[in-house]
Amino acid sequence: MNLHLEGLIAAPFTPMQADGSLNTDLIPAYYEFLKHNGVSGAFICGSTGEGVSLTLREKKLVTEAWAACAAGDPAFTVMPLLGGTCIADCIDLAQHAAGVGMDAVSFTSPSYFKPANVEMLAECIIAIAASVPEMPFYYYHIPVLTGVGFAMYDLLQAIDGRVPNFAGIKYTHEDFMDFQSCLNFRNGRYDMLWGRDENMLSALAVGAKGAVGSTFNYAAPLYHRLMEAFEKGRMDTAATLQQQSIDMIRLLGKYGGISVGKSYMRLVGLDCGQFRLPVRNMTDGQFEAFRADVAALDFDSFKSGRILAKNTF
């Protein structure tokens, strides 16, 4: 399918109550928050959204909540990650997503019983995509978590012409040779969405137009400025902005990893609760130290807010 998304697509956190249960009541405000900050879509129930820690029913509830918010909004694309362990569950979730009006669906490689080769991964994709033939279907490439690191250029060759609704790849890896080859495959036939916020500038340089990222949730203005600077040829400015992104992302590692994103969300006024086990969350003392480190980044100058100011250079 000829779907080519552009701009920033957030990977939202799944809002949780204090007891660890879902807080889908927050999702309408979350949707409005992203819209106000110029984000053009949401990739839900992925790594950032704790999809692997949600039950099948919970994934459907989250999907339904986002579908209700974005219904009738052609400027905002929502796609859920179906998962990547049980193919039958992925088919069930894909058909549910089609039924509630999702714009697309995504699938990542099985990571316990791993496919032996690219052809076996392609067979998984074919089986699930065929269950929703009218929906754009994306593969989510994140070998750091799945342990499946086949070249995506090889995957495109394996599925080309066999999956009519295959739209593209969410590419969360650092192999720019492979990424650029995928961008140029069949004269740009497939949509290649960049998935590493910390080196977006490098992806823009080889031709990326759309990106999916967790930090777009709370620092969208920074990336809008970066993309605008790149488009205007202001490479020094773009490089400075990318370094701000890197400095912000380094705090994720300092304070515990993926869960730190929810602490950033607290600082922009959208409390999504905590991550579920086995992910470690901050203590109250760590949060205060984190808040001080964030202030030292001048976070207020580029954080997401209710209104996105126009930036000029």
Residues marked active site are found at 140, 170
Q: At what angle do helices 235-255 and 216-231 cross, to 10 degrees?
A: 160
Cβ neighbour number for residue 177 with a 10 Å cutoff: 10
Cα angle 4, 59, 70; round to 5? 50
